[in-house]
């Protein structure tokens, strides 16, 4: 018997605007929130939504990401009837070696994986967004509408709208027009890059698109407009929770700082209903020295704090020496801040040593990234 729904996570992007953070790591594998990697969020959403077959499509710097995802054990996706399958771009019989040419082509190249599971519906996700979402509710809306495609949308400001694919809809939510990053948006309903398709309908469009040499092989630029042109049933599904595309150093810093503000994104699972699963490093407990001062911060396993930490997020194994000051910053795993150093409004990449009495962004201007990598 086939699965009702299979999820496909597009996790192959370069993430060049994250600079040195993605010089040797795929964007979905970038650290976030003191304990997590970005890919933890869509995978946890799938697990919590009862979706137990997930394909993770990788391409750029895929080794660490593929190893991290593994068989899906961290998210409970390694059972007899469940899996998290890593699907890298690869050489295929009769085709040769090809990269994924676009988001639609990535799914097309894995039609065999989908056919194997014979789903009624396919959920397409991005692997680099921070949010919690119950995909089962979206699937129910898709079925109730009898839709061919349901697109998750978020209301954004008119100023931001030109950065997104914009849905223009009728009062009942049907999409009659889709504009990819329009200069003059007609609405503020922005695509979140989350789609549910009735599989057999999607399959037909993917095959047709693959034959079109002029196509960009992209969902927003090709598949959705082609479906609209054929008068297929497309609906917008409005989402009203926290969602962040951490595509730049600034937005990654902002998303981390959001955890310390209103906590709209509940990583502490206070309601006991939507845990974000991740790797447990099994590090030693935190140590806080007698002269240490900590306020409004997230401090993870294995940290040693002897200085002052304010409004910051410290990943596992971070050390802050005596007299050192860390403010409004994100320190990734294994960072060493030696005595007397000052760090303000910065992201310090994994394993960096801030030597004694260094001053990083002391005037707290724009967000500063410090890394041992080039990028």
- pLDDT tens digits, 136-179: 999 999 999 999 999 999 999 998 899 899 999 999 999 999 99
Half-sphere exposure of 13 (CA within 13 A, CB side): 21
Cα dist from 299 to 48, 93, 114, 331, whole Å: 26, 50, 41, 10
Output DSSP code: residue 17: G
Using a CB cutoff of 8 Å and minimum separation of 24, what contacts does 359-368 make?
364/327, 364/328, 366/250, 367/249, 367/250, 367/253
Is the pLDDT assigned to residue 274 strictly greater than 60?
yes
Is the pLDDT assigned to residue 93 strictly greater than 70?
no
Cα dist from 169 to 175, 188, 291, whole Å: 4, 11, 59
Q: Are residues 242 and 10 in contact, defined by beta-carbon separation less than 8 angstroms?
A: no
pLDDT tens-place string over residues 280-300: 888 889 999 999 999 999 999
Element (DSSP H or E) covering residue 184 = none
Q: What pLDDT is recorded for position 176? A: 95
The residue-averaged pLDDT of 61-76 equals 93
Q: What pLDDT is recorded for position 95? A: 59
Q: CA nearest 348: which of 14, 15, 20, 17?
A: 20
pLDDT tens-place string over residues 186-230: 999 999 999 999 999 999 999 999 999 999 999 999 999 999 999
**Local structure of 348: helix, strand or coil:** strand
Length of the chain measured in residues? 375
Domains, the chain: 5-258 (3.90.550.10), 287-370 (2.160.10.10)
Give phi and psi for 142, each to the nearest 5: -60, -45
Q: CA nearest 45: which of 158, 143, 135?
A: 135
* Strand segments (E) across 250-301: 287-288, 293-295, 298-299
pLDDT tens-place string over residues 317-366: 999 999 999 999 999 999 999 999 999 999 999 999 999 999 999 999 99
Q: CA nearest 131: which of 33, 68, 45?
A: 45
Predicted TM-score (pTM) of the model is 0.94
Give phi and psi for 37, each to the nearest 5: -115, 155
């Amino acid at each position: 018997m086939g699965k009702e729904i299979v999820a496909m996570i597009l996790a192959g992007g370069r993430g060049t605007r994250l600079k040195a953070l993605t010089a040797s790591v795929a964007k979905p594998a970038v650290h976030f929130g003191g304990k997590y990697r970005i890919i933890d969020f869509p995978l946890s959403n799938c697990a919590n939504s009862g979706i137990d077959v997930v394909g993770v499509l990788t391409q750029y710097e895929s080794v660490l990401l593929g190893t991290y995802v593994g068989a899906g054990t961290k998210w409970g996706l390694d059972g007899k009837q469940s899996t998290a399958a890593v699907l890298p771009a690869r050489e295929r019989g009769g085709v040769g070696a090809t990269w994924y040419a676009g988001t639609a082509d990535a799914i097309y190249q894995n039609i065999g994986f989908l056919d194997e599971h014979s789903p009624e519906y396919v959920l397409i996700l991005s692997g680099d967004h921070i949010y919690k979402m119950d995909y089962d509710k979206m699937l129910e809306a898709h079925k109730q509408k009898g839709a061919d495609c349901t697109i998750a949308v978020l209301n954004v400001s008119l100023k931001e709208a030109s950065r997104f694919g914009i849905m223009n809809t009728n009062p009942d939510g049907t999409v009659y027009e889709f504009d990819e990053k329009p200069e003059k948006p007609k609405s503020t309903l922005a695509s979140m890059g989350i789609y549910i398709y009735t599989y057999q309908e999607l399959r037909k469009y993917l095959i047709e698109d693959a034959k079109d040499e002029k196509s960009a092989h992209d969902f927003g630029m090709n598949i959705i407009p082609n479906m609209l042109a054929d008068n297929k049933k497309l609906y917008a599904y409005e989402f009203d929770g926290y969602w962040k595309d951490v595509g730049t150093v600034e937005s990654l810093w902002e998303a981390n700082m959001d955890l310390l503000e209103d906590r709209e994104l509940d990583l502490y699972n206070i309601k006991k209903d939507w845990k974000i699963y991740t790797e447990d490093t099994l590090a030693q407990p935190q140590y806080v020295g007698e002269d240490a001062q900590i306020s409004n911060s997230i401090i993870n396993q294995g940290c040693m704090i002897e200085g002052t930490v304010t409004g910051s997020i410290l990943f596992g194994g971070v050390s802050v020496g005596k007299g050192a000051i860390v403010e409004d910053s994100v320190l990734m795993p294994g960072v060493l801040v030696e005595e007397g150093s000052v760090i303000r409004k910065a992201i310090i990449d994994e394993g960096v040593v801030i030597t004694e009495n260094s001053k990083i962004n002391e005037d707290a201007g724009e967000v500063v990234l410090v890394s041992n990598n080039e990028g």
